[in-house]
Each structure stands twice: as structure tokens, then as C-alpha cells.
Chain A
Amino acid sequence: MTDFILGHYAYWAIIFLLVLGLYGMVFKKNLAKKLIGMTIFQVAIIMFYVASAVKWAATVPVLDPAIGAVDAAKYISPLQHCLMLTAIVVGVATSGVAFSLVISIYRRYKTLDESILLERMKSS
């Protein structure tokens, strides 16, 4: 049991981050704080992929003449890192769109508080 808990410490941290991100998105009233939650959530998933690529006693995926190309177990898998490069770019683009929406909301309603926004949205 202890082995199970200690052996998966990276995953516990990721689960904590996922829950933290969801909490921020659901319970925070300020739109900017919701965005922070969203970013934490995305970063947790990126870390999940990177954690899944970890391999003991292996090296970076660049051909090393001393090891050779025969034994793939001596190199870590580069694919997760490459995928996450794309996911990071997607995350940055999403934050960009989200911030431009937040700016546009603030210009129109002069507030970022969700409950006030919902009231003003109905009255207008």
C-alpha cells in the first residue's frame, strides 16, 4: 500500500492539480480566476503526459553510439513530449482567446464578477 502511494507520487500531485483547476473554474466568481483554474487544469494534463513518459535507466531519445539503436528500452519515448508541445501551443492559443473575451466583457460591463454580470446581462 505504501509502495502504491509513494510509487505514484507524481500522479497524486497531478490529481490534486486537476481538482484544484476544476475547483477554480466552478467556484470562483471572478472570470480571471476561472481562467487561472482553466490553465492549471490544462497544465496538469500536460504533466500527466510527461510523467507517463518517465523511464528509469534510460536516456534522452538521441542516438548515442555507445548504446546503439537496437535496445529501445534504453531511450525514453519522445512522443509524449512532442504531443505536449502541441498541447502547450493549443493552451496558449486558448488563453489568448479567453483573455481577449475577458477584456471585451470588461469593456462592455465594467466588471468581471460573474453574479453581477449575470444580472446586468438579463437587464440589458
Chain B
Amino acid sequence: MIMQNSPALVPLLLLAAAISIPVLAIKKTGVAYLAALAASLGSVVISAYNALRVWESGPLTYHFGGWNPPIGIEYVLDPLSVFVALVVNVVAFIVLCHAGGLKEREIPGKSVPYYALVLLLLCGANGMILTGDLFNLYVFLEIFSLACYGLIGIGEKQAPIASFRYLIMGTVGASFYLLGLGFIYIVTGSLNMADVRNILPHVYGNPAVTTGLALIVIGMGIKMAIFPLHGWLPDAYTYAPSTSSALIAPIGTKVAAYVILRVLFFVFDVKFVSQTLPVTDLIGWLAAIGILFGSVMAMAQNEMKRMLAYSSIAQIGYIGLGIGLANPLGFIGAVLHILNHAFMKGALFLVAANLRKNAGHSDISKLDASYRKKLPWSMAAFTLAALSMIGLPPTAGFFSKWYLALGAIDKGNWVFLGVILLSSLLNAVYFFRILEKVYLGTPSAQGAEGAPSPKSNKGEGFVAGEEEYALMIPAVVLSFSLLLLGLLNANIVKGVIQRIIPLGM
């Protein structure tokens, strides 16, 4: 029974938990956090189980209510969707583990609705990833987005304004998607992704298909914050509570990027979107501009969360660049970067949260050498994640850039290659600015660059209890797994991502 229904269990479990949290937590509000943690752990376990099943026996489908597609709604678990779902659930679980230590400071008295919204967010994200129906995707997109607006608006004084601007832009994005879907539906008469894929080759000449595709890409581009459509992102990430930014930054834009990948390469044809219409080229060039723009803006920021937000725009650009290359190496780079960036940005935002909790601010200009003693492990986690963002070899970030660079060479696109190299330098500038303050502050500083040594601090400066374990461990786990992901990257690429590469690429 469970075996048979496991494909549909993750969104249903999260939805049921989200609805029951306000009831469970009537008497004791502390229950809300534990229930959210349990539901998130459950979703990790089930999605890992689904991933294993897909690995052993190939793609799974689940038909809701026993209605067969194309009439009924179908869930499709293929290697790409279970991979992204697993990444999203694991990162969300680690961030939720961290959230417990922040709730008194950041969301006093609001923890019950907050965790219900977190679970709704995850439900929406999982639904978007697993569904095989284009309209169902829209519904989950809106569940996801509405939860996002709430999670952002709960934050600081300016948060409702940031959230309102995101709401206006996000609704326009979702509406564009819906409008584009209408064009596709009018021409093909179907909403099921596999069915639409079969019908589309007969109608590729129809201008309505072109219009529909353009509207869908613009709509999801707003959600993904691809370069000229990124306006909502910096304020939203900066003013949201730290847990929200740590959840939304790794998950939110990735899910939209996944939808673009899915629609362009798995619903439409690779050849159609890259040669007949220059859709992928357009995304690639915008992404290249976005990478440089985001990196330069990040250098100009003094607030760590704001800097990370601009760096997110740049990192999303890498995924866009991989889509834009539309060749196997670029695709590997894009999918690998979805994984890597989720872990890197999660770790960095958790460190920013630890700074806010312990030091009361996350202002870069106020950082100094004392922080490496006050928060040795958080700073070590920050350093490792920063090195990965820059793309130094043993860390995960290097390998996604490596595949993107190979893809650019393969395509003979030297501008993209230049952008990748230049942006690594820019990343180095805005991250070393912080590392320099923290690790090179005093003349006796040891372990300057590349090798942050928490051990050297441990002897004299590390006082147990100064850093709360609940806050420190998740950040350290996320950033040290970057090392692991980097070392295992050959296995991930060969074993997982090469099986995902779409037909005809």
C-alpha cells in the first residue's frame, strides 16, 4: 500500500502536516516546531526511498484517483525530478533543524503559523517538481508562492513592502505562465507533459506555440530572478527572517529553474528551443549579464544578507548559462549547480543568521578578527562555503563551473567562458573582503587564506557554549558536505546526472 502510493506521499504528508499544525499546537506552541521537523524528516525519508526505487527500476508514475493520463493528473518520478526533490527536501530539513534556535529572536509569538507556512512552501515545491501535469504545476506554484509571501512578510519592519513587491511581480510571473499555458492548451488540447510532448512536433509552426513558450519562459524567469526580472529578490531576501531567507534562497529560485529546464527540454524539443527559436540563447545571454551584474552589485553591499541576495542573482545566472548552452556538458553543469548552490547558499545564509543571533547584526563593515574566536565554527563554515562559491577545486562549486566552462568551450562560446572566469574573480573579491577582516585582522593571525583552521582557534579562543550547537551544527554540516559533494562529483555526474540528459541534446 505504502509502496504503491509512495510517489504521491511527500506532498500529501507535508500538506496534511501543514493543516494539522495549528490544531496540534493549540495548547503548546512548541509542538509546532517539532511537528514541522518530523514532517520534513518524513519527506526526506520518503523522497530518498522514491529516489532509490527510481534508480533501481526506472521512472515511476502515479495516477491520481486512478484516472489515466492524459485525462487524469499524473505524478512523474524520473531521475531528474527525484534528484531535485531530494536536494530540496534535504536542504530544507537541515535549515529547519537550525530554525529552532532562532524562533524566539526572529518570529516571537508567531511560530505556529510560521511552521505551517514552511510546510506549505515545501509542499508546493515538491508538487511542482513531481507533477507531470502543466496546470497542476501552476496550482503548486501558487501554493509555493503564497507561502513565500507569508514567510517573507513576517520579518523586519520593511518586510511587508518587500513581500508586497514580490507578490506583485510573482503574480505577474505566475499569470504569464498561465497565459502561455492557455496558448499551448488551445493548440495541443492537452495539459499532460508527456502528451503535449508527443503532440507538439505536429504544430511547431503555429505562432501560438511560440507565443506560449515565450510567455512561460518570461513567467518562470520572474520566479527564477533571471537578470532583468530580478527586481524583487534583494529586498525580499534581506528583510525576511533568517530562516525564511535560508529556506527560500536555496529552494525558491531552484524550483523555478527546474521548471524552465523541464519545459524547455522535456516538454519542448531541444532542437526547437535552441535552433528554430533562439530561446536558450536568449536565456544564456541574459544569464551572462546577470552573473556580472549580481557579482558587481554584491561587491557594493555592506549588509551580509543583501550581499548574499545579489550573489544569488549571479549564481542563478550560472544555471541559466547552463540552460543557454543547451549541450550535455552545459546541462550537467546546470543540474550540478542546482545541487551545489542549494548547499552553498543554505550554509551562507545560516552563518548570516548565526551572526545576527550572536552578534546582533550581519554588517560586513563591523566584522573583525574577534569573530573568528567568537564564532569559530560558523566562520569555518562560511569560509568553506565562500571558497566553494569562488570555485576552488576540492569544493563542490568548482565542478559545476568546470562543467559549464567545458560546455562553453564545446560550443565555442568564448564570451560565456570569459564570464565564468571573470565572475569567479569577482566572487573572490567580495568573499575575501570578509575573510580578510575575520582571519587577517591581527598580526598573529594564522591560517590566512584557503585553509581556515578552526583547530588553531580551538586551543585559546573556543569556549564551549559560546556557539550554540543547534545553530552551529547545521551550518557546518551544509558547508562540509560541499567538500563531500566536490569529492564525489564524478560519481554524482556519472551515476545520476548523465542519466538525466534529455533526448536529442
Where the two chains meet, the residues of A that have a C-beta atom closer than 8 Å to any C-beta of B are: 18, 22, 25, 31, 34, 38, 41-42, 45, 48-49, 52, 80, 83, 86-87, 90, 93-94, 97-98, 101-102, 104-105, 108-109, 117, 121, 124
Q: Is the CB of A45 within 8 A of B179?
A: yes
Q: Which of A90, A93, A98 has the most CB of B within 10 A?
A: A90
B52 at the interface (CB under 8 A from A): no
Known A52-B186, A124-B158; judge A41-B167 contact (CB<8 A).
no
Q: Is the CB of A49 within 8 A of B175?
A: no
A86 contact from B139, B150, B153, B186, Cβ within 8 A: B139
Size band of the B side of the interface? Answer: 20 to 34
Q: Is the CB of A42 within 8 A of B175?
A: yes
Q: List 24 A-B contacts (CB under 8 A).
A: A18-B179, A25-B168, A25-B172, A31-B164, A38-B172, A41-B171, A42-B171, A45-B178, A49-B182, A52-B182, A52-B185, A87-B138, A87-B178, A90-B138, A94-B146, A94-B167, A97-B149, A98-B149, A98-B168, A101-B149, A104-B160, A105-B164, A109-B161, A121-B158
Q: Is the CB of A93 within 8 A of B146?
A: yes
Known A94-B167, A97-B150; judge A45-B175 contact (CB<8 A).
yes
Shortest distance in angstroms between A118's beta carbon and chain B's nearest beta carbon?
8
Q: Is the CB of A124 within 8 A of B157?
A: yes
Q: Is the CB of A101 within 8 A of B160?
A: yes
Measured in the bound complex, the distance between the Cα atoms of B166 and A94 in whole Å is 12
Measured in the bound complex, the distance between the Cα atoms of B184 and A48 in whole Å is 13
**Which residues of A are found within 8 Å of B164, using beta-carbon distances?**
31, 98, 101-102, 105
| Contact residues of B between 122 and 150, Cβ < 8 Å to A | 135, 138-139, 142, 146, 149-150
Q: Is the CB of B160 within 8 A of A48?
A: no
**Which residues of B are found within 8 Å of A83, using beta-carbon distances?**
135
Measured in the bound complex, the distance between the Cα atoms of B138 and A117 in whole Å is 32
B481 at the interface (CB under 8 A from A): no
B163 at the interface (CB under 8 A from A): yes
Shortest distance in angstroms between A92's beta carbon and chain B's nearest beta carbon?
11
**Which residues of B are found within 8 Å of A18, using beta-carbon distances?**
179
Measured in the bound complex, the distance between the Cα atoms of B232 and A25 in whole Å is 14
Q: Is the CB of A34 within 8 A of B158?
A: no
**Which residues of A are found within 8 Å of B185, using beta-carbon distances?**
52, 80
Measured in the bound complex, the distance between the Cα atoms of B172 and A22 in whole Å is 9
Shortest distance in angstroms between B361's beta carbon and chain A's nearest beta carbon?
16
Q: Is the CB of A94 within 8 A of B171?
A: yes
Measured in the bound complex, the distance between the Cα atoms of B169 and A22 in whole Å is 11
| Minimal Cβ-Cβ distance residue in A for B186 | A52
| Minimal Cβ-Cβ distance residue in B for A100 | B153
Apart from A41-B171, A90-B139, A101-B153: 18 A-B pairs, beta carbons within 8 A: A25-B168, A31-B164, A42-B171, A45-B179, A48-B179, A52-B185, A93-B146, A94-B142, A97-B146, A97-B149, A98-B149, A98-B167, A101-B160, A102-B164, A105-B164, A109-B161, A121-B158, A124-B158
Q: Is the CB of A108 within 8 A of B186?
A: no
Measured in the bound complex, the distance between the Cα atoms of B168 and A93 in whole Å is 13
**Which residues of B are found within 8 Å of A52, using beta-carbon distances?**
182, 185-186
Known A25-B168, A48-B182, A49-B182; judge A108-B175 contact (CB<8 A).
no
| Minimal Cβ-Cβ distance residue in A for B153 | A101
| Minimal Cβ-Cβ distance residue in B for A94 | B171
**Which residues of B are found within 8 Å of A45, using beta-carbon distances?**
175, 178-179, 182
Give me the 7 closest cross-chain CB pairs, A-B, nearest first.
A104-B160, A90-B142, A105-B160, A101-B164, A101-B160, A121-B158, A52-B186
**Which residues of B are found within 8 Å of A102, using beta-carbon distances?**
164
**Which residues of A are found within 8 Å of B149, using beta-carbon distances?**
97-98, 101
| Minimal Cβ-Cβ distance residue in A for B135 | A83
Q: Is the CB of B153 within 8 A of A104?
A: yes
Q: Is the CB of B160 within 8 A of A108?
A: yes
**Which residues of B are found within 8 Å of A48, using beta-carbon distances?**
179, 182
Shortest distance in angstroms between A31's beta carbon and chain B's nearest beta carbon?
6
Q: Is the CB of A93 within 8 A of B142?
A: yes
Measured in the bound complex, the distance between the Cα atoms of B138 and A42 in whole Å is 13
**Which residues of B are found within 8 Å of A34, using beta-carbon distances?**
168
**Which residues of A are found within 8 Å of B153, using beta-carbon distances?**
101, 104
Interface flags, B178-222, vs A, CB<8A=1, else 0: 110010011000000000000000000000000000000000000
Shortest distance in angstroms between A96's beta carbon and chain B's nearest beta carbon?
9
Measured in the bound complex, the distance between the Cα atoms of B168 and A34 in whole Å is 8
Measured in the bound complex, the distance between the Cα atoms of B186 and A80 in whole Å is 10
Measured in the bound complex, the distance between the Cα atoms of B182 and A18 in whole Å is 14
Measured in the bound complex, the distance between the Cα atoms of B186 and A49 in whole Å is 9
Shortest distance in angstroms between A21's beta carbon and chain B's nearest beta carbon?
9
Shortest distance in angstroms between B330's beta carbon and chain A's nearest beta carbon?
33
